Structure 1
Amino acid sequence: MKRSGHSPDRLAVSKACAALAPRRIGRKAAMLATLFVAASAGALACASTAFAQSTQDIETLVFVRHGEKPDEGLGQLNCKGLNRALALPAVIAAKYGKPDAIYAPDPGQQKDDRGQHYYYVRPLATVEPTAIQFGLPIQTPFGYAQTDALEKALLDPALRGRTLLVGWEHREIETLARKIVAEHGGQASDVPKWKSADFDSIYVVRIDWSGATPRARFSHDREGLDGRSDDCPCAALPATQ
């Protein structure tokens, strides 16, 4: 007499296998997921470390021109230039974060301004609100034409990873930026001519200190502050008698 169906032993084994199959798949999936997460975490950690190391090796030089000036020169800003200076801290913060140091020419040295000699305070007045906003002193050890000494100070290897804001005269910025780029593996022609009517440009030079010799890279940015008011942001002066 033939027995129909599966034997009790085979049925038991089939049920046991059916019960175990999902668990095995689940365990394998869990193991794969764990390995994937671990690998991803490791990759992210390596990427974060590499990024941290790369940013620690990059020095950022942010060059801004002084604000608009009066027709007479006077070594001074006009009201539009003052309004630009007051708006500059927010631009610097948004684009580059808090500077580690701020530089401007020595205001104790005179400059020929429209045929007259005046104490040259325009660049200092332009970056002063930014220094106040961030609670920083302004470094003014060099006259506006002493850019060789300024370059030496800016390219101190101890400043790797730092962001330095430099407020200066536009022709001197152009010359200095070209010199730094050309001396550190770039092309001086990468730095465009700074037009006399342009008060809005930002010249940025990034120095990569990670290699045996530092490498410089130039980029051209803008403040976006053209069109400031021609009126000074102070209380109206009393009418003259």
Structure 2
Amino acid sequence: MFAVVLALGLSGLGIAQPASARTETLVFVRHGEKPAKGYGQLDCQGLNRAMALPAVIAAKFGKPDAIYAPNPSAQKKDNGVRYDYVRPLATIEPTAIQFTLPVNTDYGYSEIDKLEQALIQPGQAGKLIVTAWEHREIEDLVRDIVSKYGGGSSAASNVPYWHSSDFDSVYVVKLDWDAQGQAPRATFVHDHEGLDGRPKDCPCAALPDAPAAK
């Protein structure tokens, strides 16, 4: 049965809970805050969110086994202008650095079908995989996974709409694989980073002669 768990108590635990040896955990985070004109880039507040994210991932989930972000050379429009889409990669890089992991950027931001195929494999049973992506694509991907493996369209409808002003949500899908590696059973959790209100000055802002953000 599909279950939506509102993670009211998870963010205060401070420790990651052990998962079943056959449970694959998919953690989806949106990129951090962005400048008014986009530029495919983070703003200073988004950078500060990215710098704080490793501690959140560690406390809630533990050390990832793999990290995914879109290929930054796959361009995306910001205010009608195409830019290399580096926001998700920039957001997850501090986490990858903290855990000494590579970031898989094989797929462009719109190639969520290919991303889904890479994520949902029997060999991923027991693994924790963190994906930083564009929020609307995350929403579509998670709904598709839940629909296929968690109870159909009625279950997928419980995956909430991801508002454009929301940079803090975390969508978590747990896939329980049986010993034969057959189709997994999916459950969905809507969690939060708890990182809203990060400073709007970049870490370098206090350095002598540092240029002001525009």
TM-score per shorter chain, which class?
Answer: 0.7 to 0.9
C-alpha distance after superposition, 1:110-158 (max 9, x if no partner): 1111110000000000000000000000000000000000000000110
Which position in structure 2 is the counterpart of 1:236?
207
1:193 matched to 2:161: yes
Which position in structure 1 is the counterpart of 2:122?
157
> Structure 2 vs 1, CA of residues 75 and 152 (structure 1 numbering), >3 Å: closer, same or farther?
same
Gaps of 5+ in 2: 1-17
Which position in structure 1 is the counterpart of 2:178?
210
Q: Post-superposition, which runs of at least 4 consecutive aligned residues in structure 1 deviate over 2 A?
A: none
Superposed CA RMSD in Å reads: 1.5
Structure 1 length-normalised TM: 0.75
Which position in structure 1 is the counterpart of 2:77?
112
Which position in structure 2 is the counterpart of 1:225?
195
Return the offset for 1:176.
Answer: 0.2
C-alpha distance after superposition, 1:178-220 (max 9, x if no partner): 0000000331112000000000000000001027431110000
Q: Which has the larger radius of gyration?
A: 1
Residue of 129, 133, 137 corresponding to 2:102: 137
Which position in structure 2 is the counterpart of 1:46?
none
How far, CA to CA, are the matches of 2:136 and 2:210 in structure 1?
40
How far, CA to CA, are the matches of 1:56 and 1:114 in structure 2?
45
How far, CA to CA, are the matches of 2:210 and 2:115 in structure 1?
45
Return the offset for 1:237.
Answer: 5.3
Q: Which one is further off, 206-215 or 113-122?
A: 206-215
Query: Identical aligned pairs, as a percentage?
Result: 63
Which position in structure 1 is the counterpart of 2:35?
70
> Structure 2 vs 1, CA of residues 239 and 133 (structure 1 numbering), >3 Å: closer, same or farther?
closer
Count of residues in Structure 1 that have an aligned counterpart in Structure 2: 188
How far, CA to CA, are the matches of 1:113 and 1:153 in structure 2?
28
Which position in structure 2 is the counterpart of 1:41?
none
> Structure 2 vs 1, CA of residues 154 and 239 (structure 1 numbering), >3 Å: closer, same or farther?
closer
Which position in structure 1 is the counterpart of 2:113?
148
How far, CA to CA, are the matches of 2:74 and 2:188 in structure 1?
30
**2:117 partner amino acid:** K
Structure 2 length-normalised TM: 0.85
Q: Which one is further off, 54-63 or 97-106?
A: 54-63
**What SS does the corresponding residue of 2:41 show, helix, strand or coil?**
coil
Which position in structure 1 is the counterpart of 2:11?
none
**2:143 partner amino acid:** R
> Structure 2 vs 1, CA of residues 239 and 104 (structure 1 numbering), >3 Å: closer, same or farther?
closer
Which position in structure 2 is the counterpart of 1:184?
149
1:122 matched to 2:92: no
C-alpha distance after superposition, 1:45-104 (max 9, x if no partner): xxxxxxx9x711100000000000000000000000000000000000000000000000
**1:201 partner amino acid:** S
